[in-house]
């Protein structure tokens, strides 16, 4: 399906597919639903192509509008929104460079990837985190070497918390060369789930977000062809993340904003079902305070998205995306406290949707960048530290 040209219609389509996704959330959370079904619905509705440029058959959204769509999906099904973002976090940097001339090998890679998404409906995901070092690129233990004929690469390593495990078609795998101890020489490769040597563990029994289909991944001497080296350039990953951190840091933010707004709506629905409770000035003030907090968070998220569109990689954009990520993650505990206070047993009953939403919302503080990392980044920026310096921040 091709998405409409008008953004308001795309946003409307996001709510339409969201209403199909919403009934699936509880079943997947309870381990009785089909993990793949939400992503099949998103693919059928054309949402894998949100960022792909129009000339290549996509919707060509910028970062700000993408965040708006992601929050709409997240309002209906948070896990599906996070999975969709995993896909777009991989292809997003290429989509943003769609109008930038590239060397022949990089251009071939970009064209191939767009074709895979648009014509092949292929889903992409990231496999960056590792058991010991998390998502920090500098601590990566996964290694790669050239094949004997020089036409490909052999990758060996262990990845943890890989979302869309077994669902995505390709995984962006960062790795370091075997012959170098330089922690900054990191390259990304696209590994197919069908490549020999790729194995996934059991889906993690998480307290929430089971729908992201998260598991460990083993790469046992996996051979990938040379054309699946990201942009055909070795050692590109760390400088790219340092200069343009918005995908690694802030992609999740739109999804969690949508979940936060779903929590507020669930509270409102619960309160308005009891007219006497809804007439209480104390209740009204609490609901109003949360509404104010949500309005402020959305305004910051949208401002950050616009800054990325206007000046991707600039100091303003990079600081605002960290501020937006912190604001949304920090909002979760406040909304949870209010929900428990106003809804009582409904907030902890597995029979009520608000209980699942509160579990999902708390994971906003776990996704990179964590709140303390956002604050460190913002503090260093305010104090004049050059955050484009590879040694200025723990990547």
Which part of the chain has CATH 2.40.110.10?
126-235
Residue 287 pLDDT grade (very low, low, confident, very high; cuts 50, 70, 90): very high
Q: How far is CA 340 from the centre of its chain?
A: 28
Which part of the chain has CATH 1.10.540.10?
7-122
For residues 291 and 264, the answer to whether their CB atoms sit within 8 Å is: yes
What pLDDT shows up at residue 393?
82
Judged against a pLDDT cut of 90, whether residue 58 lies above it is answered with: yes
Residue 60, C-beta contacts closer than 8 angstroms, at least 6 positions apart:
51, 52, 53, 54, 95, 98
Residue 19, token pair as written in the block: 């209403």
Judged against a pLDDT cut of 90, whether residue 225 lies above it is answered with: yes
What pLDDT shows up at residue 1?
67
For residue 176, what are the β-bridge partners?
143
- Across the chain, what does the average pLDDT equal? 94
Burial class for 234, CB neighbours closer than 10 Å (0-12, 13-18, 19+): middle
What pLDDT shows up at residue 297?
97
Which part of the chain has CATH 1.20.140.10?
244-383
* Measured distance CA(307)–CA(380) in Å, rounded: 19
Judged against a pLDDT cut of 90, whether residue 118 lies above it is answered with: yes
Q: At what angle do helices 315-343 and 371-382 cross, to 10 degrees?
A: 140
What pLDDT shows up at residue 185?
87
Strands 170-177 and 143-146: parallel
C-alpha radius of gyration, the chain, whole number = 21
126-235 CATH choice from 3.50.50.60, 1.10.10.10, 2.40.110.10, 3.40.50.300: 2.40.110.10
pTM of the model: 0.95
pLDDT above 90 as % of the chain: 81
What pLDDT shows up at residue 121?
96
Residue 130, C-beta contacts closer than 8 angstroms, at least 6 positions apart:
139, 140, 141, 142, 157, 158, 159, 160
Domain 7-122: CATH class, spelled out:
mainly alpha
* Measured distance CA(175)–CA(188) in Å, rounded: 6
Judged against a pLDDT cut of 90, whether residue 237 lies above it is answered with: no
Whether CATH 1.10.8.60 fits 244-383: no
| Entry field: residues in the chain | 395
pLDDT tens profile 288-337: 999 999 999 999 999 999 999 999 999 999 999 999 999 999 999 999 99
What pLDDT shows up at residue 34?
97
Judged against a pLDDT cut of 90, whether residue 373 lies above it is answered with: yes
Number of helical (H) and strand (E) elements in the chain, helices listed first: 12, 7
């Amino acid at each position: 399906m091709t998405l409409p040209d008008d953004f308001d219609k795309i946003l409307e389509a996001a709510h339409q597919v969201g209403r199909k996704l919403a009934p699936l959330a509880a079943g997947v959370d309870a381990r009785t639903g089909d993990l793949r079904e939400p992503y099949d619905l998103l693919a059928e509705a054309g949402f894998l192509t949100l960022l792909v440029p129009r000339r290549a058959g996509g919707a060509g959204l910028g970062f700000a509008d993408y965040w708006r769509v992601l929050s709409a999906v997240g309002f209906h099904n948070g896990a599906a929104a996070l999975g969709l973002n995993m896909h777009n976090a991989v292809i997003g940097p290429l989509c943003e460079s769609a109008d930038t001339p590239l060397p022949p090998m990089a251009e071939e890679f970009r064209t191939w990837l767009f074709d895979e998404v648009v014509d092949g409906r292929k889903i992409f995901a990231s496999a960056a985190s590792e058991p010991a070092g998390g998502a920090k690129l500098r601590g990566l233990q996964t290694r790669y070497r050239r094949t004997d004929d020089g036409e490909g690469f052999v990758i060996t390593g262990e990845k943890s918390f890989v979302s869309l495990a077994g669902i995505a078609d390709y995984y962006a795998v960062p790795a370091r060369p075997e012959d170098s101890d330089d922690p900054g020489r990191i390259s990304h490769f696209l590994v197919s789930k069908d490549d020999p040597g790729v194995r996934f563990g059991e889906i993690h029994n998480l307290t929430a977000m089971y729908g992201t289909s998260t598991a460990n991944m083993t790469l046992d001497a996996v051979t990938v062809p040379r054309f699946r080296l990201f942009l055909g350039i070795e050692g590109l990953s760390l400088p790219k993340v340092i200069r343009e951190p918005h995908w690694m840091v802030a992609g999740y933010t739109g999804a969690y904003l949508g979940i936060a707004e779903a929590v507020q709506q669930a509270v409102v629905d619960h309160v308005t079902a009891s007219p006497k409770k809804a007439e209480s000035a104390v209740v009204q003030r609490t609901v109003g305070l949360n509404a104010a907090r949500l309005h402020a968070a959305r305004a910051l998220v949208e401002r950050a998205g616009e800054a990325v569109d206007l000046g991707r990689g600039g100091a303003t954009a990079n600081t605002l995306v960290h501020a937006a990520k912190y604001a949304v993650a920090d909002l979760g505990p406040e909304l949870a406290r209010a929900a428990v206070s106003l809804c009582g047993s409904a907030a902890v009953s597995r029979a009520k949707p608000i209980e699942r939403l509160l579990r999902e919302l708390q994971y906003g503080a776990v996704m990179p960048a964590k709140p303390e990392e956002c604050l460190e980044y913002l503090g260093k920026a305010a104090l004049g530290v050059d955050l484009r310096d590879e040694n200025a921040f723990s990547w």
